[in-house]
Amino acid sequence: MSEKVAKGIPKRGLEGAISKLFTRAASVTELRDLAPDFRLVTLQGQALCKVTWTPGQKVQLLLGGWVQRTYTPLAWDAEHGSTTLLAYMHGDGPGAVWARQLAVGDACAIFGPRGSLDLTAIERPALLFGDETSFGLAHALRFTPCSADGVHLLLEVSSAAHASTVLAEIGVQGAQLIERKPDDTHIGEVQELAAQLLQTRAIRAGVLSGKATSIQRLSKQLRQLGISRGRLQTKAYWAPGKAGLD
């Protein structure tokens, strides 16, 4: 991907026309690296003013070439027209390359905000499972009517030290962090902890996000342990070898 495609709003042709019709124009006003592979991105523009936003909703950024990536904003200031995203820059996918190459002043095209997972509908006690791509979702729990009370965070991460630093910076507390292992052998530990939570904390529902295969394995286990499909919300943000997941 060229730097021009990674950074700019599409300028010509059908994609540019659609961008102008359906997206909000903004520019990067601040970049802050919280830990290796994690960057806070602040976007601002007149089109972001007077926007109705609910924590937990998603936005999609058009990266050019019909490529888009989805983020859960940490904040939205409808008066001054700004929003803040947490970008995870692991690997060489389009989203990681885009976030890594960003500079203050770069233009962005934003679609949304719009609904995603409904955190207000979670029956407590509940389990929220995810990974680095789920940090924005975990942050949104702080603003639901019941706050984060009764929701237990279980996150698979590449580095517990880096994840702990970032979660503390964005105000997320109490997460259990499981470091990834080769061939996903750590998922057994995730499943063991989930089973313990069901037994000791009487977990009744789950919100599962992040890596598709991890979601599949944990969802199957939770159903076997008695949590009905109707009490599970799932959202796969990525899968190895696939692009464009929401």
User: Per-domain residue ranges for the chain?
Assistant: 3-114, 119-238
Question: So what's the pLDDT on residue 194?
Answer: 95
- Which residues on adjacent β-strands are paired with residue 64? 67
Alpha carbons 138 and 155: distance in angstroms, whole number:
10
> Looking at residues 149-171, what average pLDDT do you find?
95
Can you state the angle between helices 187-200 and 212-224, rounded to 10 degrees?
Answer: 40
Alpha carbons 21 and 148: distance in angstroms, whole number:
37
pTM (two decimals): 0.89
Question: So what's the pLDDT on residue 12?
Answer: 55
Q: How confident is the model at residue 5 (pLDDT cuts 50, 70, 90)?
A: very low
More confident: 2 or 170: 170
Q: How confident is the model at residue 2 (pLDDT cuts 50, 70, 90)?
A: very low
> Looking at residues 143-169, what average pLDDT do you find?
89
Alpha carbons 229 and 38: distance in angstroms, whole number:
33
As assigned by CATH, the class of the 119-238 domain is alpha beta
Q: Do domains 3-114 and 119-238 have the same CATH topology?
A: no
Report helix, strand and coil shares of the chain as percent, to nearest 5. 35, 35, 35
pLDDT tens for residues 216-226?
999 999 999 99
Write the CB contacts of 175 (distance below 8 Å, at least 6 apart in sequence). Answer: 138, 153, 154, 155, 163, 167
pLDDT above 50: residue 6: no
Alpha carbons 109 and 25: distance in angstroms, whole number:
5
Alpha carbons 218 and 224: distance in angstroms, whole number:
10
> Looking at residues 46-68, what average pLDDT do you find?
90
Average pLDDT, the chain: 89
Burial 219-245 (b: 16+ CB within 10 A, else e): bebbeeeebeeebbbbbbbbeeeeeee
pLDDT tens for residues 103-143?
999 999 999 999 988 888 788 899 999 999 999 999 998 88
Question: So what's the pLDDT on residue 16?
Answer: 61
**Overall size of the chain counted in residues:** 246
The CATH code of domain 3-114 reads 2.40.30.10
Question: So what's the pLDDT on residue 209?
Answer: 96
